[in-house]
Structure 1
Amino acid sequence: MRRNRIYLVALLIFAMVSCSFAKKSFDDPGKDKNLVDLISYVLKRWHFNPQDINDDFSENVYNDFISAVDPMKRYFLASDLREFSEYKDKIDDEIKEPGVKFFSLVYGRLMKRMEEAKAFQEKLLKKPFDFTENETIDRDYEKLNFAKNVKELKERWRKELKFSTLANYDIKLEVEKNKKEEDASHKIKDFDSLEKEARESTAKTYVEFFDLMDDLERKDWFSIYVNTIVEEFDPHTSYLAPQDKDRFDMNMSGKLEGIGARLQKRTEGAKIFEVISGGPAWRSKKIEAGDIILKVAQEDEEPVDIVGMRLDDAVKLIKGPKGTKVSLTVKKVDGSIEIITIQRDLVEIEETYAKSAVVKKGQRTFGIINLPKFYVDFEDYNKRNAASDVKKEIERLKDQGMEGLVLDLRNNGGGSLKTVVDMAGFFIKDGPIVQVKSSIDAKEVLKDEDSRIQWDGPLVILVNELSASASEILAAALQDYKRAIVIGSKQTYGKGTVQNVVDLNRFVRGNDGNVGALKLTTQKFYRINGGSTQLEGVKSDVVVVDKYSFIDIGEKDQENPLPWDQIDPALYDLWDGYIGYEETINQSKARMANNAQLKLIEENAKWIKKRRDDNVYPLNYVEYKKEADADEEYAKRFKAISDYDTNLVFNSLPYEELLMKKDSTLQGKRQAWHEDLSKDVYVEEAINVLGDIQLNNIKKKKRSVVKG
């Protein structure tokens, strides 16, 4: 089938690069230079829109790298920048004839300045702060210049530390006042005591911060540098260091092999902050959030002390293949020390996957499916994936008498292209779903060629500004067919590009270790109507304001996005299963225009935008408290947003009810989700629209609606 060609693009790239690059050697000690050489080679030949690597390109990399490593301008001095600027127009030359002098200079200076900053903050936090002085701090770092000298830099640190301590002081004082209200005999601590405690809290935060910075090795900073180079091509091209590639694969599949726990770095070890429901640690009933892992031992091996170890390295020791055992020396929440042995297993990250609920409105029954991402197992598509899961949920909802379906793609950043094509086919008889074009090939039209329809009833798709990529393909296709009514933001994210992951280890000779992978943009998506989803995204049929409406978060707000364009439309027939499609949309628009809850959300969104744009804060406690109290008082008017009640009833499906009897964690998650849905004005309107949609029952009888 022609459509299968599109899924083999990455393999073709591998083959072509292997042949073309056979005479290049990466065996010399300069691995950094070789990595830059290899990546630039791949980008120039297979990126959708290769950039000219010239002086302008060089200056952009220069600015972006400095901003990436010192975004708050609290390490480098103006004199450092003058020294660095020698390379402003030379980075392109270093890429063409591989060199890393610029990176090495900046990295070395950064390490030196960080050590100096560590000493600054330690010394500054030994002296009490005066919260009666009338001074302010401007935290608009983009407009801030680099400090002229060490004195100015220290002053910058002083204000940052004072600001953090002021916030800590305010919290501690409020705690004391609350204790006084509960117990009249409680004596509120004096200013000196609270100020000291606040400084100690700030100091602890910075100890942990610099501890994390100390964990970063040269290779970590070099990954940042490489990414500033590749991101000049477009925002979605990126270098994946070995550990990042592992995370990428896990995020896309929603699976990992290990014990099933999320960890945080702490000075005393690795702290467990979440035990993943259903995983080995959860099943053992011996591990809980708050426990601290001190040592890790593989089967029949001596334990390794992980106190002070990089979190990534500790995680590598704890993770391992399914069926193997790991022994953890754990400091329990109660302070006791235990050695706990756990057999590793495949862990599924439940919140990654599709979930559904039955929605009751009066005597009518509807369904909602929430899809966080279009997940897939890259090694075996027949294993769990987004399309197969959604198919199951549709059938389960149909068994409950579903009369209409809401597909919630809000905050869904995308994922597997194949799952989108398969999923769209659940709602139409057959036909094109998306057009894909590379810089060197003619367009491919990816089609649903299965005439079976999983669901031919009313369909609404919910989107917002963070619905991207694959989400936009699905919403666009079903909108173009007039199969679904799209409700949400003015437009979706606007990511209309295709990325493929190239394993760079395929091109490295010898035993140089894992060099990672390159995720590069190779193609663009086009709707079946011919327009690209790039930049413009998908415009909702019914536009509703939300908390993101006035914040710059879309593709158009990123650096170096590819442009919008269009190609010829594909051949497709509009869905003929609805009567009064446009009338339904107009009825919804009228309801939304007069919705008091949405007007309050809009006011809140504008207020959030205003607060984000105000970067000047008082360092005088009286003024600080005055502003904080004013904000708190104004924010009270928005409490009604979370108090809203749709009067809709949400229930889990029978199979999940059985699971929840054995899993209280899952039960808690579903109850929280249902509670959020019951306050969701967007879901409420989606259900209203489903109720308004009139089916063309004459046409419906002619369709083949299948189960299974």
Structure 2
Amino acid sequence: MKRKLVYLLAVLLVSAASCSFTNKTFDNPDKDKMLLDLISYVLENAHFDPKDVDDNFSEHVFDNYIDALDPLKRYFLQSDIDEFKKYRSAIDDQIKTSDLTFFNLTYDRLMQRMDEASVMYKDVLEKPFNYNEDEVINVDYEAIPYAKNKEELWARWRNQMKFSTIERYVSAMEAKNDTIADAENALDDEYSDDPVELEKQTREATIKTLEEYFEFMEDLQRKDWFAVYLNSIVEEFDPHTFYFAPDDKDRFDVSMSGKFEGIGARLQKKSDHIKIIEIISGGPAWRANTLEVGDVIMKVGQENETPVSVVGMRLEDAVKLIKGPKGSKVILTVKRVDGTVDDVALERDVVELEESYAKSSIVKKDNRTFGVINLPKFYIDFDDYNNRNAATDVAKEIEELKKAGAEGLIVDLRSNGGGSLKTVVDIAGLFIKDGPVVQVKTTGRKKEVLEDTDERIQWDGPLVILVNELSASASEILAAAMQDYKRAIILGSKQTYGKGTVQNVIDLNQFIRGNNDYGDVGAIKVTTQKFYRINGGSTQLEGVKSDVVVPDKYSYRDMGEKDQENPLPWDKIEAVQYKDWAGYIDYDETIERSKERMANNEQLKLIDENAKWVKEQQEDKEYPLNIDKYKAEIEKDEEILKRFKKIADYKTNLTFESLPYEMKKMEADTILKEKRVRWHESLSKDVYIEEAINVLEDLKINTIKKNKVVDVKG
């Protein structure tokens, strides 16, 4: 494994070179002006909390837009920024008057700077690098100023190219001692044993990667850059409001379908980085067990081809490289969540979304039986609610676990990003007699209280809900309701994601149906609603704070709503009348006992140390360009990682088995059997499941009081 600094190498390439970017002939200023007017109208009238488009708004848009164009400060000179700044407080006026002067200026200048860059990078890479010089590179791009002149800019680019090539050079030398060469070396001819020739080959490989990358960049049209400008405006309203160009909207629709051919991972573009935000159970990435949420994809390689850097690439172009026909192979260079970099080879396959449905397992500890239900999302068939949805599936799993003799139940909502609001209310109703579940405020309307009206209780035994920093939206509603009722103990991260808002996708074409001159104009995703707990507090920003806080690998990472740009604020409204479940004898005492166990758990201490180390790695912004110091940094990190590898060796004393109805299915479905074996193996190493079982053992049900209620109002 290589040090996290390797990840930055591909990033640097993005701003270091270019092909010809001038003479683009895809202008349609009238359409651009119309889009600006239309989006402004929709935001003003549909957004939950529309902002004043004033000078302050303008300054924020300016800063974010310039950063989006040149995040690494490798194209624009300080003189360019000084020229742009005369518009910093004028963008609001240009929005109101459909004036494109600022956009046109920045677009033309960017094309000019990219053309200049395309001449420079080959000159740099034609000359050998001296890796014995005592040089460093600073990659704290937010802190470093723009270059004063082209000489200073060229010097920065030289360091970038050296930084990129030293990684290839060291990796190639390491690969000769490995039993399996890394993916990049496997795709190219073997590197030479002669250090001089090897240095030349690695420079040539860097050139080839840049050339491949900018073939994609040349496909970018003016309208693509205008979409960047539009999203710098709309994202000032909140991080979930977004403009979809026509192609983006098509891809958004396709992502909701049931199957596709690829690697089985969902991706998200943030700044210049393409990050894995979900591993789809049962897909190639899940089966290979070599990727995880939070990994950043740096390069994509096809069989027998040179990998292409995807840093800075449009998400849709990166996806085109990653997806492909069943049976073909793709090699991903990824930066791990622990800061290291690896090459991962995957065979593409048809990815079924079946594993995104609820699944359960019997848990055995000594002579006692418990149950765990994993719910990856709150799914629903919008055309036919009775067809299949999360609530009915969870209810069925509960019944099967009751038949198996489960004494306590874990509902695992870790990394559940949300879904259907109706299914949340219905699932909450499985655990309470009746009552309110969530309050919803919608733009221009009175608040709405969504309630469970069914007095039946599907599960009246001990209940633990597992969450982490990636539990969001609908997950937070369910956890919050169960916490307010004191129906379940919430165990997990310090707080959940903190997304207390709802978005609707509005097709912009509906506003211009009488005019087909512009063609498809895309859509806009707008925040229109906000969630509130039944105690009145919003889940926005604050999320749900766990009753028992346990560290995990995400503990010190900036990944929640509070860490996004322009999140809507937390607030509170009036609580509603609800009834305390009051069915536990020792609810508070159980929480305290769990906290004591967690404080003394050696596995959790090691996980916490690892999370802190990852944070330190992310904050390190200076890297050596001297080969001896470079190698020393890698060796130092690899030594530290040896200790953290023990985390994966942890084993609980729990055993897991599938329910009888699934066992029957497995007789004819070997793939299902493989999936469940993998899942059970993962659960058997899960310290959080282990503690959840401990909590279930401690919880004592008051059979007299559990059917009584106490009226409360927060």
Question: How far off is 1:246 after superposition?
Answer: 3.7
Question: How far off is 1:348 after superposition?
Answer: 4.1
Q: Equivalent residue for 1:270?
A: none
**Residue-by-residue CA offset, 1:149-171 (whole Å, 9 max, x unaligned):** 22222222221221122122222
Secondary structure in structure 2 of the residue aligned to 1:387: helix
Q: Equivalent residue for 1:694?
A: 700
Q: Equivalent residue for 1:424?
A: 428
- Give the partner amino acid of 1:215: D
C-alpha distance 215-621 of structure 1, shift in aligned 2 (>3 A): same
Q: Structure 1 residue 146 and structure 2 residue 146: aligned?
A: yes
Q: Partners in 1 of 2:628 and 2:304 — Cα distance? A: 43
Q: Structure 1 residue 158 and structure 2 residue 162: aligned?
A: no
Q: Partners in 2 of 1:656 and 1:196 — Cα distance? A: 58
Please say if residues 582 and 708 of structure 2, whose CA atoms lie closer than 8 Å, have aligned partners that are also in contact: no
Q: Equivalent residue for 1:406?
A: 410
Residue in structure 1 matching 2:512, options 508, 523, 526: 508
- Give the partner amino acid of 2:462: P
Please say if residues 260 and 276 of structure 1, whose CA atoms lie closer than 8 Å, have aligned partners that are also in contact: no
Question: How far off is 1:403 after superposition?
Answer: 2.2
**Residue-by-residue CA offset, 1:43-63 (whole Å, 9 max, x unaligned):** 112212111101111111111
Question: How far off is 1:422 after superposition?
Answer: 1.7
Question: How far off is 1:502 after superposition?
Answer: 1.7
- Give the partner amino acid of 1:123: D
Secondary structure in structure 2 of the residue aligned to 1:30: helix
- Give the partner amino acid of 1:578: Y
Q: Equivalent residue for 2:565?
A: 559
Question: How far off is 1:211 after superposition?
Answer: 3.0
Q: Structure 1 residue 585 and structure 2 residue 591: aligned?
A: yes
Q: Structure 1 residue 244 and structure 2 residue 248: aligned?
A: yes
Q: Partners in 2 of 1:175 and 1:619 — Cα distance? A: 20
Q: Structure 1 residue 88 and structure 2 residue 88: aligned?
A: yes
**Residue-by-residue CA offset, 1:101-142 (whole Å, 9 max, x unaligned):** 322322233233334334433332232221101000111111
The Cα RMSD (Å) is 3.7
| Equivalent pairs, count | 620
Secondary structure in structure 1 of the residue aligned to 2:565: coil
Question: How far off is 1:622 after superposition?
Answer: 0.4
C-alpha distance 200-242 of structure 1, shift in aligned 2 (>3 A): same
Q: Equivalent residue for 1:681?
A: 687
103-112 vs 42-51, which moves further = 103-112
226-235 vs 692-701, which moves further = 692-701
Q: Partners in 2 of 1:667 and 1:585 — Cα distance? A: 36
Please say if residues 360 and 650 of structure 1, whose CA atoms lie closer than 8 Å, have aligned partners that are also in contact: yes
Please say if residues 650 and 678 of structure 1, whose CA atoms lie closer than 8 Å, have aligned partners that are also in contact: yes
Please say if residues 254 and 348 of structure 1, whose CA atoms lie closer than 8 Å, have aligned partners that are also in contact: no
Q: Partners in 2 of 1:175 and 1:419 — Cα distance? A: 51
**Residue-by-residue CA offset, 1:542-588 (whole Å, 9 max, x unaligned):** 01112222222222222222222211111111113322111111111
- Give the partner amino acid of 2:35: L
108-117 vs 499-508, which moves further = 108-117
Q: Partners in 2 of 1:277 and 1:203 — Cα distance? A: 37
Question: How far off is 1:628 after superposition?
Answer: 1.5
Q: Equivalent residue for 2:18?
A: none
Q: Equivalent residue for 2:104?
A: 104
Q: Partners in 1 of 2:265 and 2:120 — Cα distance? A: 30
Q: Equivalent residue for 2:194?
A: 190
Q: Equivalent residue for 1:129?
A: 129
C-alpha distance 565-154 of structure 1, shift in aligned 2 (>3 A): same
Q: Structure 1 residue 354 and structure 2 residue 358: aligned?
A: yes
Question: How far off is 1:445 after superposition?
Answer: 0.8
Secondary structure in structure 2 of the residue aligned to 1:694: coil
- Where do 1:383-532 residues align within 5 Å? 383-509=387-513, 510-511=515-516, 512-532=518-538
Please say if residues 293 and 330 of structure 1, whose CA atoms lie closer than 8 Å, have aligned partners that are also in contact: no
Q: Partners in 2 of 1:632 and 1:442 — Cα distance? A: 57
User: TM-score if structure 1 supplies the norm length?
Assistant: 0.80
Q: Partners in 2 of 1:47 and 1:115 — Cα distance? A: 40
Question: How far off is 1:659 after superposition?
Answer: 5.2
C-alpha distance 254-573 of structure 1, shift in aligned 2 (>3 A): farther
Please say if residues 254 and 375 of structure 1, whose CA atoms lie closer than 8 Å, have aligned partners that are also in contact: no
C-alpha distance 275-608 of structure 1, shift in aligned 2 (>3 A): closer
- Where do 1:366-377 residues align within 5 Å? 366-377=370-381
Runs of 5+ in structure 1 lacking a partner?
1-27, 265-273, 283-288, 295-309, 320-327, 335-345, 704-708
Secondary structure in structure 2 of the residue aligned to 1:523: strand
Question: How far off is 1:229 after superposition?
Answer: 0.7
C-alpha distance 364-62 of structure 1, shift in aligned 2 (>3 A): same
Q: Partners in 1 of 2:665 and 2:199 — Cα distance? A: 50
C-alpha distance 84-567 of structure 1, shift in aligned 2 (>3 A): same
Please say if residues 172 and 191 of structure 2, whose CA atoms lie closer than 8 Å, have aligned partners that are also in contact: no
Question: How far off is 1:292 after superposition?
Answer: 7.9
C-alpha distance 33-438 of structure 1, shift in aligned 2 (>3 A): same
661-670 vs 611-620, which moves further = 661-670
C-alpha distance 416-596 of structure 1, shift in aligned 2 (>3 A): same
472-481 vs 206-215, which moves further = 206-215
**Residue-by-residue CA offset, 1:377-401 (whole Å, 9 max, x unaligned):** 4444444333333333333333333
C-alpha distance 263-221 of structure 1, shift in aligned 2 (>3 A): farther
532-541 vs 356-365, which moves further = 356-365
User: TM-score if structure 2 supplies the norm length?
Assistant: 0.79
Please say if residues 61 and 228 of structure 1, whose CA atoms lie closer than 8 Å, have aligned partners that are also in contact: yes
Please say if residues 416 and 470 of structure 1, whose CA atoms lie closer than 8 Å, have aligned partners that are also in contact: yes
- Give the partner amino acid of 1:66: I
- Give the partner amino acid of 1:50: P
Residue in structure 2 matching 1:640, options 643, 646, 653: 646
Secondary structure in structure 1 of the residue aligned to 2:218: helix
Q: Equivalent residue for 2:227?
A: 223
Please say if residues 370 and 406 of structure 2, whose CA atoms lie closer than 8 Å, have aligned partners that are also in contact: yes
Q: Equivalent residue for 1:34?
A: 34
Please say if residues 437 and 450 of structure 2, whose CA atoms lie closer than 8 Å, have aligned partners that are also in contact: yes
391-400 vs 428-437, which moves further = 391-400
Q: Equivalent residue for 2:207?
A: 203
Question: How far off is 1:472 after superposition?
Answer: 1.0
Q: Partners in 1 of 2:139 and 2:318 — Cα distance? A: 35
